[in-house]
Structure 1
Amino acid sequence: MSLAVVTLKKGEGRFLKSGGLWVYDNEIASIMGSFVNGDIVLVRDFDGYPMGRGFINTNSKITVRMLTRDERTEISPKFLKQRVRDAWEYRKKVVDTGSCRVIFGEADFLPGLVVDKFSDVLVVQSLALGIDRLKETILDALKEVLAEDGIRIRGVYERSDAKVRRQEGMELTKGFIGEEFPTLVQIEENGVKYEVDIRDGQKTGFFLDQKYNRLAIQKLCKGAKVLDCFTHTGSFALNAGIAGAQSVLGVDASETAVLQARRNASLNGLDGTVKFLCEDVFELLPELEEKGEKFDVVVLDPPAFTKSRSSVKNAIKGYREINLRAMRLVKDGGFLATCSCSHFMTYELFTQTIGQAAKNVHKRLRQVEYRTQAPDHPILWSADESYYLKFYIFQVCNDR
C-alpha cells in the first residue's frame, strides 16, 4: 500500500530542516493520498525533495512527528527495536541504569513516548497517536533488549493520563499492560532507598531527572541545617540526611507526598534527622523568616510554574518570590540550590529572575555550579522541548 504524501509550503519546514522532528499544521501545503490519523506518511519539501517518514495526526497542531529522515526506511519492528537498542546502549554508558529513563521521546527519535525503568518494572507514557499504535511493539522490543543484558522485566504499567493527550484527540488512560503486579516499587539511587508509587505518584511515579543534582547537594549538607521546599516524596531531603545533615525539614503542600516522604525516611533510618511538614511553601517561607529561622542549605525544587508561553510573566513572579524568600533564610555563606523544570522558563529568564531576587534582598550570589537534567533525559539540540531543567547551586553572601 502506498503511503500518503505530506508536502510542505515553500519556505516552510525550517524547524524540520534544522534537525527537529515536528511538522506543524500551518507548514503544510497539501496531503495527497488516503490515510487515517496515526498512519505513517511520507514528508516532502515543496519541490518534492524527500524529508523522511513520520506519523500523522490532523487533530494536532503538530501534524507530523518524524521517525526517520530516510524516505526509503520502513517503520518495521526491526527498525523500532534498533531505536530501542540505541537508547539502551546510550544509557549504559552515561547513567546508573538501576532506575532510569530508558526512552525520552524526541531525544531518542521515538516522538511522544516516555519509558521509565524502576528496578525491574517499566512505566510507559504515550503522548501521541502514532506512537500509541506502536507502543506495544516498542515495549516488547525493549524487554527483549534488556533480557540480553540479563534484566528480566516483571511488569509494565501505563501512565498515559497526561492532559496533553487530549490535544491529539486521545483519551486519558492508565493501567497494567500485561499481567498485574504490586505497584509500590522499591528503588535505590545515590545510596538512598525510595518506595515509588507508579500507579498514583506524579507523572510516572518518581522524578528521575534530578538524580545527579540530588547527589550534588550531598557534599554541602554534612553537619548542616537544611530546608527542602517542594520536597514531593522527600528526595533532596533524604540525600541531605544520608550525607550527614544535622537536621532536615522537607515541606510540601501534598499530604499524600508527605506521607510517602515519611515512609521513605523510615526506609533509610532517617526518622530522627529528616522531618516533613505539609504546608504551602509560599505561606511558610515568610513565617520562617518572621521567626528568625536560618538554614545552612535551602533547596527549591518547585513544580513547573508555567506550561505555556502565555503564563510566563506570572511564573517569573513566582520564581522571584520563592528565591528571594529563600535567600533571606540562608545563613551568610550558606548555600541555595534552586531550579525550574519548565521548558518555557528559559535559562536566560531563570537566571535573570534569580539575579533580580538577589538584588531585591541585597544578597551576593557566588555560583558553585549550573546543571541540567540527568543524561538519561538527553537534550537534543534540534528539539528545544527536550531542554527543560535548569539547576543552580549558589553560595549566598550578605552585601559587604
Structure 2
Amino acid sequence: MSARIMLNPKREKSLLRRHPWIFSKAVNKVVGKPLPGDTVDVLDSKGNWLAKAAYSPSSQIRARVWTFDQDEHIDREFFKSRILAAQALRAKPIIDGGLTGYRLIAGESDNLPGLTIDVYDNILSCQLLSAGIEFNRHILFSVLEEIFPDYAIYERSDVEVRKKEGLGLSKGWITEPLDSTEVVIEEHGIKIKVDVDKGHKTGFYLDQRDSRLAAGRYAKGKTILNCFSYTGTFSLHCAAADAAEVTNVDVSQTALDLAKENIALNGLEDKNVNFVKQDVFKLLRQYREENRKFDMIILDPPKFAESKAQLNGACRGYKDINMLAMQLLNKNGILLTFSCSGLMESNLFQKVVADAALDAKREGRIIERLQQAADHPISLNYPEGYYLKGLICQMD
C-alpha cells in the first residue's frame, strides 16, 4: 500500500472544494515513510479517499494535490497530458498577440503545483518550486524534450522559496547549452530582449503584457514617467504610440542598459526617451520639490509583501508612492498603478489608492482595471493564482 496522510476531523473542506493545498495543521498522521516529493494518498479522518498529493515534510504546505481522480497515476503520461492541455489552452492568445514569449505552465492553475515554465523564443525557462516537482524533475524534463524537441531548456530554480520545501537552489542548462542565454521575443509587434540567466523571475515579466498594451492606448502626445521601468517595456509601447516624452526610472543600470537596447531593437531611437538611474521614492520627492509635472505615470513596483506580517508595511509603501505620483500628474492625468503582491487583495489595493488620492488632495476615478495576461490563468478553485492587479485612474 502506498504512503498516505490522514487529515484531522473537518479539515477536508478545502479539498472537497478542490483547493490543491494541504497545510501541516490539517494533517493528523502520516502512514508509511514517504520521501520528500513522494506521491501520497490523502484520506479524511474517517478514511475516505480524497486526492493524490506530493508530500513535503519541510513545508507548511505539507502536501500539494496532483489529482482528485483516484484512477490517475502520477507518471510520465500524467505530466505529458497536463503540459499538452496547457499549451492548447494558450493557443488563441499566442496567435492573437503574435507571441513568441508566453507562460506555458502556471503552477497550481495548470494543475502542476509548484511548476513555472515560460517560453522565450526557442528556450523553455523552468522554475521547480515544490518538492513534488523536484522529485519528478527527470520525468518532467524528458517530457519537455519530447514535446518541444527544437527547444533548449534552462532551469531557473534559484529562488529562496525552494528552501521552504527543503530544497537547494539550482540554475543552468538542462539540455545542450546554447551560445547565449539572451533571446528576443515578440508581443503585439514589439520586440523585447530577454536574458533567461540574469533576468528577473524566469527572465522577464510576461504577466504585464496586456498592461503594456493598455499603456500604449493612452500614450499618444503625452509626457510619461515610467517608474520601476526594469527593461523599459512599458516605454516601448508608449514610444511606438507616439508619446511626446518617456522617462524610464530604475535603480539598476543593467536594466536601463537593456532598456536602451530594446529601444534600438524596435527602431525607436528617434523618439524622446530618457533613462534615469535613481531610487523611485527619492526621485518622486525630488520632482515634487522641482514642481515637475507629467501627463501619465506608470507605477509597476516589485512585490512589497512576501508575508501577512509585511502587509501593513506594504500598504504604507503603496499609499506613499501613489500619493507622490498623483501630486506630479497634470490635470486629467493618467495613472497606471499596479500591485503584484498576492496578499494585497483588489479591494484593499483600491482602498490604498483612494487613501493616497485623499492625501494628495486629488479627485480621481478608475477608468480601467487590469490583471495578469491570459497565459497566467486563475483557477476557480485556486484564488491565490490571482496576484497581479492594476488600475488605470484619471485624476482631476
Using the size of structure 1 for normalisation, the TM-score is 0.95
- Which residue matches 2:115? 113
- Which residue matches 1:29? 28
1:172 matched to 2:174: no
- Which residue matches 1:124? 126
Contact between 1:262 and 1:275, CA under 8 Å: does it hold in 2? Answer: no
- Which residue matches 2:100? 98
Q: How does 1:295-374 map to 2 (within 5 A)?
A: 295-374=294-373
Q: SS at 1:363's partner residue?
A: coil
Give the CA deviation at 1:335. Answer: 0.5
Q: Distance in 1 between matches of 2:5 and 2:372?
A: 35
Contact between 1:298 and 1:330, CA under 8 Å: does it hold in 2? Answer: yes
Contact between 2:154 and 2:171, CA under 8 Å: does it hold in 1? Answer: yes
Q: How does 1:177-326 map to 2 (within 5 A)?
A: 177-181=174-178, 182-272=180-270, 273-326=272-325
Q: Distance in 2 between matches of 1:111 and 1:353?
A: 31
Q: SS at 2:267's partner residue?
A: coil
Q: SS at 1:43's partner residue?
A: strand
Q: Distance in 1 between matches of 2:287 and 2:305?
A: 26
- Which residue matches 1:81? 80
Q: Distance in 2 between matches of 1:391 and 1:384?
A: 17
Contact between 1:84 and 1:138, CA under 8 Å: does it hold in 2? Answer: no
Give the CA deviation at 1:331. Answer: 0.9
- Which residue matches 1:135? 137
Q: Distance in 1 between matches of 2:318 and 2:380?
A: 26
Q: SS at 2:309's partner residue?
A: helix
Unaligned runs of 5+ in 1: none
Q: Distance in 2 between matches of 1:353 and 1:386?
A: 21
Contact between 1:238 and 1:274, CA under 8 Å: does it hold in 2? Answer: no
Deviations for 1:293-332, whole angstroms, at most 9, x for unmatched residues? Answer: 1111110000011111001111111101110111111110
Give the CA deviation at 1:5. Answer: 1.4
Deviations for 1:249-305, whole angstroms, at most 9, x for unmatched residues? Answer: 000011211111111112122234222111000000011122221111110000011
Q: Which amino acid aligns with 1:28?
A: V
Q: Distance in 2 between matches of 1:200 and 1:90?
A: 29
Q: Which amino acid aligns with 1:176?
A: W
Using the size of structure 2 for normalisation, the TM-score is 0.96
- Which residue matches 1:9? 8
Give the CA deviation at 1:17. Answer: 2.1
Give the CA deviation at 1:140. Answer: 3.3
Deviations for 1:119-156, whole angstroms, at most 9, x for unmatched residues? Answer: 11110000011111223423333343356xxxx31x11
Q: Which amino acid aligns with 1:52?
A: A
Unaligned runs of 5+ in 2: none
Q: Which amino acid aligns with 1:201?
A: G
Q: Distance in 1 between matches of 2:206 and 2:141?
A: 20
Contact between 2:36 and 2:135, CA under 8 Å: does it hold in 1? Answer: no
Give the CA deviation at 1:380. Answer: 1.6
Q: Distance in 2 between matches of 1:22 and 1:188?
A: 35
Give the CA deviation at 1:67. Answer: 0.4
- Which residue matches 2:47? 48
Q: Distance in 2 between matches of 1:98 and 1:42?
A: 39
- Which residue matches 1:67? 66
Q: Which amino acid aligns with 2:360?
A: V
Give the CA deviation at 1:72. Answer: 2.2
Give the CA deviation at 1:384. Answer: 2.8
Q: Distance in 1 between matches of 2:155 and 2:129?
A: 11
Q: SS at 2:154's partner residue?
A: strand
Q: SS at 1:201's partner residue?
A: coil
Higher deviation after alignment, 87-96 or 122-131: 87-96
Q: May I ask how many residue pairs the two structures share in their alignment?
A: 391
- Distance change in 2, residues 1:91/1:139 (3 Å): farther
Deviations for 1:343-383, whole angstroms, at most 9, x for unmatched residues? Answer: 01111211100000111122111211101100111112322
Give the CA deviation at 1:83. Answer: 0.6
Q: SS at 1:262's partner residue?
A: helix
Runs of 4+, deviation exceeding 4 Å: none
Identity %: 38
- The CA RMSD over aligned residues, in Å, is 1.3
Q: Which amino acid aligns with 1:125?
A: Q
Q: Distance in 2 between matches of 1:332 and 1:146?
A: 51
Contact between 1:230 and 1:302, CA under 8 Å: does it hold in 2? Answer: yes
Give the CA deviation at 1:6. Answer: 0.8
Q: Distance in 2 between matches of 1:384 and 1:375?
A: 15
Q: Distance in 2 between matches of 1:349 and 1:210?
A: 20
Q: Distance in 1 between matches of 2:221 and 2:18?
A: 48
Higher deviation after alignment, 383-392 or 201-210: 383-392
Q: SS at 1:345's partner residue?
A: coil
Q: Which amino acid aligns with 1:299?
A: I
Q: Distance in 1 between matches of 2:141 and 2:87?
A: 12
Q: Which amino acid aligns with 1:118?
A: Y
Higher deviation after alignment, 58-67 or 95-104: 95-104
